Structure 1
Amino acid sequence: MYFISTGGKSWSESRQDCRGRGADLVTINSREEQNFIEILRRGQRAWIGLTDRDTERVWKWVDGSALTTRFWRSGEPNGAAYEDCVVTGDKSDPVNNWADYPCKQRFVWICEKSIFN
Structure 2
Amino acid sequence: MSQFSTCILSYKHYLQQGWFYFSDSVYYISSTKKTWQDSRNDCLQRAADLVIIGSTEEQVGDFIKQHQKIMWIGLTDREMEGVWKWVDGSPLTTSFWDSGEPNSHRGNEDCVEIHSFNSLYNWNDKTCENKNFWICEKKSIP
1:63 aligned partner, one-letter code: D
Are residues 1:48 and 2:34 paired? no
2: distance between equivalents of 1:57 and 1:116? 33
- Residues paired across the two proteins, number: 115
Are residues 1:87 and 2:113 paired? yes
Are residues 1:39 and 2:65 paired? yes
**2:10 counterpart residue number:** none
**2:12 counterpart residue number:** none
Q: Which runs of 5+ in 2 are unaligned?
A: 1-25
Deviations 1:39-83 (A, max 9, x none): 25x111100000000000000000000001100000000133210
Residue 115 (structure 1) shift? 1.7
Deviations 1:7-55 (A, max 9, x none): 0000000000000000000000000000115325x11110000000000
Determine which structure has more spread, i.e. the larger CA radius of gyration: 2
Residue 91 (structure 1) shift? 3.6
1: distance between equivalents of 2:76 and 2:117? 22
Q: Which runs of 5+ in 1 are unaligned?
A: none
2: distance between equivalents of 1:4 and 1:38? 8
Q: Point out 4+ residue stretches in structure 1 off by more than 4 angstroms.
A: none
1:7 aligned partner, one-letter code: T
SS in 2 for 1:38: helix
Which protein, 1 or 2, shows the higher relative CO under an 8 Å CA cutoff with sep ≥ 6?
Answer: 1
Identify if the C-alpha distance between structure 1 residues 45 and 52 changes in structure 2 by more than 3 Å, giving closer, same or farther: same
**1:108 counterpart residue number:** 133
Residues 65 and 117 of structure 2 are in contact (CA less than 8 Å); yes or no, is this contact kept in structure 1?
no
1:114 aligned partner, one-letter code: K
After alignment, is 71-80 or 22-31 more displaced?
71-80
Q: Which has the higher helix share?
A: 2
TM-score by length of 2: 0.76
Identify if the C-alpha distance between structure 1 residues 39 and 91 changes in structure 2 by more than 3 Å, giving closer, same or farther: closer
